[in-house]
Structure 1
Amino acid sequence: MKVAVIPARGGSKRIPRKNIRPFAGRPMISHSIEAARDSGLFDRIIVSTDDAAIADVARECGAEVPFVRPADLSDDHATSIAVIAHAVGWLRDAGAAPHDVCCLYATAPFVRPADLRAALAMLHDSGAPFCFPVTTFAFPIQRALARDAAGAVHMLHPEYEITRSQDLAEHVHDAGQFYWGRAQAWVDGLPIYAPHSRTILMPRHRVQDIDTPDDWQRAELMHRALSQMPTEEE
């Protein structure tokens, strides 16, 4: 059985109620639920939340909310691994043990069904415990600068100061949208950012963290621009 688990706690501070705040005309979480549904991959789409309002919206959007997330997994320090492991344990206790579990974030309006399918195929083909999307940095990280309170800067890696950009190795970062994993890998608490995991590469124009009001505004502009582009084949 394949299950999507969407973590969506109610205590967001920097963007209050961000999981159900309207984005592109509908609740933010609805975009993730729709992508999961349209992928055709999942036997169940479950939202893990401690918040009654989020639970109501999730059900209206077509997801299940079969349990209330415990308080000790609903604060700022709760990890995604712990939240998904709890959901796997609940399903096992209910006699519905999953095999593959996708942690799909509620604030991932750019995730597409094709992304979910590609990552699952990579998970199965590689035999890895996890697979998730990444994207390239827009600027060589070897040229990163540290800036102090007075505005002064210094290079973190001064040895690369005069190295040509084309001679610097390209690096990637987590797209922050979803993680496919084997159920037991979640329960065992295996690290996701490790050599045993595999990744798929996504274009930068479909990746945006949404943690601050500035992030939200940028994401809305990106979404508006993407909606005007020709539809990519799923």
Structure 2
Amino acid sequence: MRVAVIPARGGSKRIPRKNIRDFCGKPIIAYSIEAATATGLFDEIIVSTDDHEIAAISRQFGATTPFIRPKEIADDFTGTNAVVKHAVSWLTERNHDVAHACCIYATAPLIEPRFIQQGYDALVGSDAAFAFSVTGYAFPIQRAVRLTTDGRVDALHPEHRLTRSQDLEPAYHDAGQFYWGTARAFLDNVPLFSPRSIGVILPRTRVQDIDTAEDWELAEFMYRALNRS
């Protein structure tokens, strides 16, 4: 069995009701549910939420909400792995044989089914525990600077002041869209950020973290530009 788990807590602080807020015409969580559905990969698409309104809206777009997430894993400090582990454990306890699970964030409207598929192919074609979305930094991180207390610039990596940008090693960061893993890796609390994970590279034009009002506005601009007909 392959299952998608979409975490969608009700108590978002920086953007209230973020997971079901309107994004270019429909609740933002709908994009994640629809992308998961379009892959044809999943036997079940579960939204893990502690909020009855989020659950009802998720069902309207084709997800299931077989449980209300317990309060102990619905606070500001609960990580992604714990939420997926709970869902996999819940299914396993009810005699479902879960082989792979994919956590898909509820606020990932730029997500594309083809990349979810690439993540699955990368995972099952290897001995990795996880495969998740990453994207490259737009500027070499080796040229990063800090500002001192009096506002002066100080190089974080002074040894690379004169290194040509094309000679610097590319660096990547978590794209915040999907996290494939074996059921066993989630159940055993295997660390996500480790050599046991494969990075699935997404173009930067398909990645936008959404934590602030400014992030939200930028993501809508990107979505409209990418989907112009």
TM-score (norm 1): 0.95
Displacement of 1:94 after TM fit?
1.5
Which residue of 1 is the match for residue 109 of structure 2? 109
Which residue of 2 is the match for residue 63 of structure 1? 63
Displacement of 1:145 after TM fit?
1.2
Give, in whole Å, the separation in 2 of the partners of 1:108 and 1:41.
Answer: 18
Displacement of 1:15 after TM fit?
0.6
Preserved CA contact (<8 Å) 1:88 1:97: no
Stretches of structure 2 lacking an aligned partner (at least 5 in a row): none
The one-character-per-residue Cα deviations of 1:140-195 (angstroms, maximum 9, x if unpaired) are: 00011122565333111111112111111111111110100000100111011111
The answer to whether structure 1 residue 160 and structure 2 residue 164 are counterparts is no
Give, in whole Å, the separation in 2 of the partners of 1:195 and 1:45.
Answer: 28
Which residue of 1 is the match for residue 136 of structure 2? 136
The answer to whether structure 1 residue 182 and structure 2 residue 182 are counterparts is yes
Distance 1:67 1:222, change over 3 A: same
Distance 1:184 1:170, change over 3 A: same
Give, in whole Å, the separation in 1 of the partners of 2:29 and 2:52.
Answer: 14
Q: Where do 1:197-216 residues align within 5 Å?
A: 197-216=197-216
The one-letter code sitting in structure 2 at the alignment partner of 1:23 is: F
Q: Where do 1:25-104 residues align within 5 Å?
A: 25-104=25-104
Displacement of 1:77 after TM fit?
0.4
Which residue of 2 is the match for residue 191 of structure 1? 191
TM-score (norm 2): 0.97
Give, in whole Å, the separation in 1 of the partners of 2:82 and 2:210.
Answer: 21
The one-character-per-residue Cα deviations of 1:38-92 (angstroms, maximum 9, x if unpaired) are: 1000000000000111111101111000001111111110010111101111001
Give, in whole Å, the separation in 2 of the partners of 1:64 and 1:12.
Answer: 21
Identity of paired residues, percent? 54
Distance 1:88 1:40, change over 3 A: same
Give, in whole Å, the separation in 1 of the partners of 2:183 and 2:209.
Answer: 26
Give, in whole Å, the separation in 2 of the partners of 1:200 and 1:53.
Answer: 33
Stretches of structure 1 lacking an aligned partner (at least 5 in a row): 230-234
Displacement of 1:13 after TM fit?
0.7
Distance 1:162 1:195, change over 3 A: same
RMSD: 1.1
